[in-house]
Amino acid sequence: MANDKVSIHGAWASRWVFILAATGSAVGLGNIWKFPYMTGMYGGGAFVMMYLVCIFMVGLPIMLAETLIGRRGRQSPVNTLKALAIESGASPKWSWAALMGMIAALLILSFYSVVAGWSLDYILSMGSGQFAGVSAEGAGAAFGALTADPWRLTLWHTLFMLLTGFVIARGVVAGLERSLRIMMPLLFVLLLVLLGYSMTTGHFMQGFHFLFNFQPDRVLDGVLAAMGHAFFTLSVGVGAIMVYGSYMPKNASIGSTILTVGILDTLVALTAGMALFPIVFAGGLEPSAGPGLMFVTLPVAFGNIAFGQVMGTLFFVLVLIAAWTSSISMLEPAVAYLVERSKRSRVLVTSVLAFVCWVIGMGTVLSFNLGAEAKFFVFSDDGFHLFQWGAEGGRNFFDSIDYLTSRILLPLGGLSFAVFAGWVLKREAVREELAMKSPLLFNLVYWFIRVVAPIGVLIVFVAELSK
């Protein structure tokens, strides 16, 4: 057996802990916050359909690839790719793919922390009964007031970054398992409660229709965003799953594990969508409201049901936990790498990286108020501008980072990891890691990693460029 390596950073006690950790990473703001608002922006059913196709044809094979690469290498993604490439007689430059992923993860963390901070604020305002009996309009105004206030945003952003750094500095394996075991199921239960409420709004079917009604004319629009979001929601393309894979027990079956994670992640997103949209329609809100969608609809729901104050508070606590278990997985690849490279302590490395992300995150804080007019990537009549104040169109800082990561860096990273597992690693190595009983199933999965997933990403890329 070639693979008796162990990671210097630790190891999960069992396959279940890996499932918890990977699900913790996958289920986050992407499912509860981003998925519903993107569905709203891209018109509903067309987006959802494309999203599901991307998850199962592209996202899951790449997740599988990342996990098996991680477990085989047992180091941080950058060093894993370097070592495995050399072992397989390929160029050590493959590690650049992991380096790019690592940077993408830090960029995601920078804005993720700001949005997670919103839920911190909402825990407080929900808990103090501010939303009792609130109308859709009132909830919209409350959200507007929050995002207009850079100081309040900075406070919560800072706090969330500290929380993330704290867990990572202590080591993922020790601190996380117990809370995850309780919190993830509770999150599910509360989502179901919310779903129950949305059924009483009288607009459930309208919401359902919106989510699952297929509109052929919007498919192209949706597919580009859907591919990016499939990567985002599964946490693939950045090395987060790879680093978790490197702590996975040797004999755990990767295939069924990954399938479980993928299904859980999809279920949470769809449930969130089915819970939110009926409330959107009942309150006369716009489905295309954008990033504020969840923060406007949920207060309306919780402000108008029995025990809403308690349940709403609890719900935002859980959103926070979901975000937290995701954010640590964004930091871990870089921390593991720098610990290996610099031989400095985990605490020091974590502090430096969290600070860097915090600073970049300030750009997102300002995107919603003072810096809303600072536009990047502007295509206008007189050509392309990287930066222009007050330009029509273009993207503010938050939109730019989101676009750069989801639409470009994650798919590129995922593509590289799939090609690496499919074409650089020896077939025998992959077979050994996957350890599937049925040769037929192995061939099928291997073909998805080698051919289907890479072609899927490429098609979307070409479509994006020729838009």
Q: Is 361 among the residues that bind ligand PHE (CB under 6 A)?
A: no
Look at residue 388 and give its three-state secondary structure: strand
Closest to ligand PHE by CB, 211 vs 238, is 238
Closer to ligand PHE at the Cβ: 336 or 374? 336
- Residue 329 binds ligand PHE, judged by CB under 6 A: yes
Q: Which of residues 282-301 bind ligand PHE (CB under 6 A)?
A: none
| Interacting residue with ligand PHE among 326, 396, 400, 416 (CB under 6 A) | 326
- Which is closer to ligand PHE, CB of 123 or CB of 240? 240
Nearer to ligand PHE, 179 or 215 (CB): 179
- Tell me whether residue 25 or residue 297 sits nearer to ligand PHE (CB atom): 25
Closest CA to 315 of 304, 336, 301: 301
Element (H, E) at 16: helix 15-26
For ligand PHE, which is the closer residue by CB, 233 or 297? 233
Question: Interface with ligand PHE includes 29 (CB under 6 A)?
Answer: yes
State which residue has the least CB distance to ligand PHE.
30
| Cα–Cα distance for residue pair 104/237, rounded to 1 Å | 9
CB of 228 to ligand PHE, least distance (A): 11
By CB under 6 A, residue 362 contacts ligand PHE:
no
How many residues touch ligand PHE (CB under 6 A)?
16
Cβ 338 vs Cβ 349: under 8 Å = yes
Backbone torsion region of residue 13, taken as left when φ is above 0, otherwise alpha when ψ lies between -120 and 50, otherwise beta: alpha
What is the CB-side half-sphere exposure of residue 181 using CA atoms within 13 A?
6
Query: From residue 346, how far is each of 170, 244, 311, 327 by CA, in Å?
Result: 8, 17, 37, 17
- DSSP run (H or E) holding 50: helix 45-54
How far is the first Cα of the chain from the last one, in angstroms, to the nearest whole number? 49
Contacts with ligand PHE in 129-188 (CB under 6 A)?
none
> Restricting to residues 195-254, which ones interact with ligand PHE according to CB under 6 A?
232-233, 235, 238, 240
Separation between Cα atoms, residue 283 and residue 197, nearest integer Å: 13
Instruction: State the nearest-atom distance from the C-beta of 329 to ligand PHE, in Å.
Output: 5
**Quick one: 102 or 282, whose CB is closer to ligand PHE?**
102
Interface with ligand PHE (CB under 6 A), residue from 48, 62, 78, 108: 108
Residue 6 beta carbon to ligand PHE: minimum distance, rounded to whole angstroms: 24
Quote the least distance from Cβ 40 to ligand PHE, whole Å.
17
Question: One-letter amino acid identity for 101?
Answer: G
Stretch that binds ligand PHE, among 50-58, 322-330, 379-387, 413-421 (CB under 6 A): 322-330
Can you tell me which of 23, 25, 147, 367 binds ligand PHE, judged by CB under 6 A?
25
Q: How far apart are CA 235 and CA 164, in angstroms?
A: 16
Q: Is 31 in the site for ligand PHE (CB under 6 A)?
A: yes
Residue found under tokens 């031989």: 343
CA angle, residues 436, 439, 444, in degrees to nearest 5: 90
Residue pair 245/68 in contact (Cβ under 8 Å)? The answer is yes
Residue 412 within binding range of ligand PHE, rule CB under 6 A: no
Pair of tokens at residue 190 = 């509360």
CB 320 within 8 A of CB 124: no
- Contact track, ligand PHE, 73-92, x by CB under 6 A: --------------------
Q: Closest separation between CB of residue 243 and ligand PHE, Å?
A: 10
Could you say which of 24, 30, 207, 262 contacts ligand PHE (CB under 6 A)?
Answer: 30
Binder of ligand PHE out of 28, 36, 291, 411 (CB under 6 A): 28
> What is d(CA 367, CA 295) in angstroms, rounded to the nearest whole number?
17
Q: Does 413 bind ligand PHE (CB under 6 A)?
A: no
The continuous run of DSSP H or E covering 310 comes out as helix 308-342
- In the complex, least distance from residue 240 CB atom to ligand PHE, rounded to whole angstroms: 4
Rounded Cα distance, 261 and 322, in Å: 14
* Residue whose pair of structure tokens reads 């969290």 in the numeric block: 354
Give least dist CB 327 to ligand PHE, A: 7
Q: Closest CB to ligand PHE among 140 and 414? A: 414
CA distance 311 to 106: 32
Q: Both tokens of residue 302?
A: 């919780």
Contacting residues toward ligand PHE, per CB under 6 A: 25-26, 28-31, 105, 108, 232-233, 235, 238, 240, 326, 329-330
